Amino acid sequence: MPGIDSEKELVAKHAAGLARDGMIIGLGTGSTAAFAIAELGRRVRTGLRITGVASSNASEKLAASVGIPVLPFDDLSRLDLTIDGADEIDGDLNAVKGAGGALMREKIIASASDVMVAIVDSSKVVPRIGKAKIPIEVLPFALAWAEKSAQSMGALVSHRATPSGEMFRTDQNNFILDLVFERGYDSTRLASALDSIPGVLEHGLFLSEIDVLLVGTGEAVETRRRSK
C-alpha cells in the first residue's frame, strides 16, 4: 500500500534523526525498521558515528550493507536507543511484536535500551491491543507442551510456517507458535502466564519496554510518550 509505505518511511526517517554521535543503537526488524536502518546508514555515510546492535540476522545484514558498524550484543550491557516497529500498539504504549519472528532479541535490546522508540504507520494503532496474533518463541524440545499449555489458557494456536510450508525457525533455531485469544485477554495477566511456561523463551507482548511511540499519519509524525 503506497500510503502505508510512505507513512513507514516518514516515521522511520524521523526516528533516525534521534541518533547522535557515539550512540549504541538497537536496530529493529521488519519493513518499518528497515527504512530506519537505511536512513541511519545514509547519515553514517555523511559523518554520523554510531554503532548498531541488530535484533535479527536480516537487520544485521541490512545494516552492514548500508555501512553501519554492528557489534554483537554479548559484550554489551546497555544501549542508548532502540528503534523498532510493532504489529499492534495502543495509546498506553502496550504493543504486540514478533510478526517478523525476532521478538526475543527485540525484547532484549528494548529492555537494555535507555530509550526504546516504536515506529509505526497509522494502521498499527488500536484503542487497546487484542487482535494481533501473539507469537511465542518455543524451545523445540518443548513444542507440544507449550502448545498444550497455551491452549489451556484459551488460545487458538498455530505453528508459524515458512512460505514453503516448513516450520519457521527463529535466528536462535527455535519455533514460533502464534496465539489468538478470540475472547480477548488481560495483557498483564497473560504476559505473566506466558512467562511462567517452561520452554517458552519469550512472548510478543511488550507492556513496559516502549518509551516513545512515533506514528506516521499521512504527512505528519505524531509523538506519544509513556506516562510516568
Q: Active-site residue 106, yes or no?
A: yes
Q: 109 near 53, Cβ under 8 Å?
A: yes
Binding of ligand A5P at residue 58 (CB under 6 A)?
Answer: no
Candidates 63, 41, 45, 39; CA nearest to 53 is 63
Catalytic: which of 7, 106, 202, 209? Answer: 106
Binding of ligand A5P at residue 39 (CB under 6 A)?
Answer: no
Binding of ligand A5P at residue 108 (CB under 6 A)?
Answer: no
Binding of ligand A5P at residue 7 (CB under 6 A)?
Answer: no
Candidates 39, 173, 36; CA nearest to 101 is 173
Given CA atoms 148, 198, 75, 115 in this order, what sign does their dihedral have? positive
Compute the least distance from the CB of residue 14 to ligand A5P, in Å. Answer: 14
Binding of ligand A5P at residue 29 (CB under 6 A)?
Answer: yes
Binding of ligand A5P at residue 87 (CB under 6 A)?
Answer: yes
Question: Looking at 14-22, 74-82, 83-91, 153-161, which segment touches ligand A5P (CB under 6 A)?
Answer: 83-91
Binding of ligand A5P at residue 98 (CB under 6 A)?
Answer: yes
Q: How far apart are CA 220 and CA 170, in angstroms?
A: 34
Q: Which is nearer to ligand A5P, 185 or 206 (CB)?
A: 206
Q: How far apart are CA 158 and CA 110, in angstroms?
A: 26
Candidates 88, 120, 87; CA nearest to 102 is 87
Q: Which 8-state DSSP code applies to residue 168?
A: P
Q: Which residues are catalytic?
A: 106
The binding site for ligand A5P (CB under 6 A) comprises 28-33, 84-87, 97-103, 106
